């Protein structure tokens, strides 16, 4: 029992690192939540999405046709 008490009374060397990690993650979490909820982030992500959709729109039909073509063929067993 005295060994268990001695082990329990010794400080955990990883405890400070865990506290540092938790503080770091908490800080980043608050920062990212604040950033993602801002109007400028919404405008930037909206502009990026619009650009992507404008580039992808002409490719939608040819890609769909290319993907559906193998499915239309009847397999011969």
| Segment 56-68, tens digit of pLDDT | 999 999 999 999 9
State the pTM of this model: 0.53
User: Cα–Cα distance between 28 and 20 in angstroms, integer?
Assistant: 12
What are phi and psi for residue 74, nearest 5 degrees? Answer: -85, 130
Arithmetic mean of pLDDT over the chain? 88
In the chain, domain spans: 14-69
pLDDT of residue 9: 78
Rg over alpha carbons for the chain, rounded to the nearest Å, is 28
Q: How many helices (DSSP H) and strands (DSSP E) are in the chain?
A: 3, 0
pLDDT digits (tens, 9 = 90+) for 19-41: 999 999 999 999 999 999 999 99
Give the pLDDT confidence score for residue 76 in this predicted structure. Answer: 44
Contact predicate 70/76, CB 8 Å: no
Where helices occur in 1-77 by DSSP H, the ranges are 2-9, 15-36, 39-72
């Amino acid at each position: 029992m005295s060994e268990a008490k001695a082990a329990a009374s010794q400080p955990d060397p990883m405890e400070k690192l865990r506290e540092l990690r938790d503080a770091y993650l908490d800080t980043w979490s608050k920062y990212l939540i604040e950033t993602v909820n801002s109007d400028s982030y919404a405008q930037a992500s909206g502009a990026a999405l619009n650009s992507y959709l404008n580039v992808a729109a002409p490719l939608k039909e040819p890609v769909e046709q290319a993907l559906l073509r193998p499915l239309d063929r009847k397999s011969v067993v």
